[in-house]
Amino acid sequence: MKQQQRSFYQLVLLYTDQKYLLSKAWEESSGESLLQIQLLAALKNFVIALGYQSPICYNMLLPILQSGIDVNSPDELLEDSMLLWEATLSHAPSMMPQLLGYFPCLLEILERSFDHLKVAADIIEGYIILGGTDFLSLHPSIVANLLDLVVGNVNDRGLLSILPVIEILIQCFPLEVPQLISSTLQKLIVICLTGGDDHDPSKTAVKAYSAAILARILVTNINFLAQITSEPSLLLLLQKAGFPVDENILLCLVDIWLDKVDNVTSIQRKAYGLALSIILTLKLAQVLDKLDQILSVIVGGSEAFTDEESSSNSMSPSRPRIPSKESRKRQIKLSDPINQLSLENSVRDNLQTCAALHGDSFNSAIGRMHPAAFAQLKQALNMS
């Protein structure tokens, strides 16, 4: 049925003057918002029906889309225009130069209002997945300003919409993006380290997700996290939020990773585990104080040791000729540096480093572990 519907739409386009269809109706309905909303909805359905052949209607689609997302267009058209924008990205076979050029409009829209943040987040994700390096290299400052605008100025619900965008951006560009969005990441550190969650599920989710992003950065870009946690601008933000200036920020993040490990996804839990294993390599006495907790949390998520083995073999051998948005997302997940790293090897190697750094103190700390937990650790690491 869907194929028949698509063929029908293609016939309409082949035998009818495109500019006389919706584009003509759009021009003639200027000032009639209700009619234009209906036209936008119809055009969105049109794009969805055509799927990855939707570029054949771009001569008609793109001028209407550009008009609808213009910051000076009527407010009542904005939501439907953004939904059309998201559908266009989701069903595009590749990133078109015209679509790439529209991205700055999103910053202008969000500067005006956060009313449509959820669909805005979906649009950003679409640009990341479809545009990749071309997108980031063309609009680095827009991306940075947009994320900085949102984080710190929206409620927890809004943050939970935008945090997955930050995560996938760092997933795709682990070395380039952290420096680009350092101001936003400073705000995430403040979110993690200040204010209680008061058993509020939304606040807990925001802290846990923010901490997972920071754990990912420690694992994939360790020098950057060391740099950002010592920057005066971050210390000033923390001081304004009532955080004690003499606290070791990295060790405070360790406390968050230990506390929120049950509030994250399996891949985020693995990021927590990898980050905690890196902490073992720090020559700080406090690391030994937390050793039992760190190892218990890592081993407690022992499914991460087996997930990494199965995930590397889970890719389907047959790929669609034109990958869908979801298949692109799966490919990003499979290529994720966190997914590629071995938690087992990381913990084993870093435990050896920890032992070499601390000597007898390390042995004493290990000796304080509960026998059952120690046995579980040995089993997880395949240690005799």
- H or E element: which one contains 224? helix 222-228
Closest by CA to 100, choosing from 119, 126, 121, is 126
Residues ≥6 apart with Cβ < 8 Å to 231: 182, 186
Cα–Cα–Cα angle for 247, 248, 249, rounded to 5 degrees: 100
Contact assessment for residue 192 and residue 210, using Cβ atoms and an 8 Å cutoff: yes
Token pair 């049950």 is found at 262
d(C-alpha 41, C-alpha 240), whole Å: 46
Work out the pLDDT band at 195, boundaries 50, 70, 90. confident
Query: What is the arithmetic mean of pLDDT over 182-210?
Result: 92
For the beta carbon of residue 163, count every other beta carbon within 10 angstroms: 22
User: Could you report the per-residue pLDDT of 147-168, keeping only the tens digit for each?
Assistant: 999 998 999 999 999 999 999 9
The rounded percent of the chain whose pLDDT value lies above 90 is: 66
pLDDT for residue 25: 80
pLDDT for residue 306: 52
Q: Contacts from 192-198 at CB under 8 Å and sequence distance 24+?
A: 192/252, 192/253, 192/256, 193/238, 193/241, 193/243, 193/249, 193/252, 193/253, 193/256, 194/238, 194/241, 194/242, 194/243, 195/241
* pTM of the entire predicted model: 0.90
Query: What is the arithmetic mean of pLDDT over 115-123?
Result: 97
pLDDT for residue 10: 53
Lookup: tokens for 192: 């993690």
d(C-alpha 251, C-alpha 247), whole Å: 8
Query: What is the arithmetic mean of pLDDT over 320-349?
Result: 86
Mean pLDDT of the chain: 87
Helices (H) and strands (E) in the chain, counts: 25, 0
Tell me how far the alpha carbon of residue 310 is from its chain's centroid: 23
- pLDDT higher than 60, residue 381: yes
Query: What is the arithmetic mean of pLDDT over 230-253?
Result: 92
How far apart, in Å, are the Cα atoms of 46 and each of 5, 26, 182, 364? Answer: 10, 15, 40, 68
How far apart, in Å, are the Cα atoms of 63 and each of 17, 26, 29, 97? Answer: 16, 10, 15, 14
pLDDT for residue 289: 92
- pLDDT higher than 60, residue 330: yes
Token pair 């990749």 is found at 132
d(C-alpha 17, C-alpha 171), whole Å: 44
d(C-alpha 20, C-alpha 109), whole Å: 30
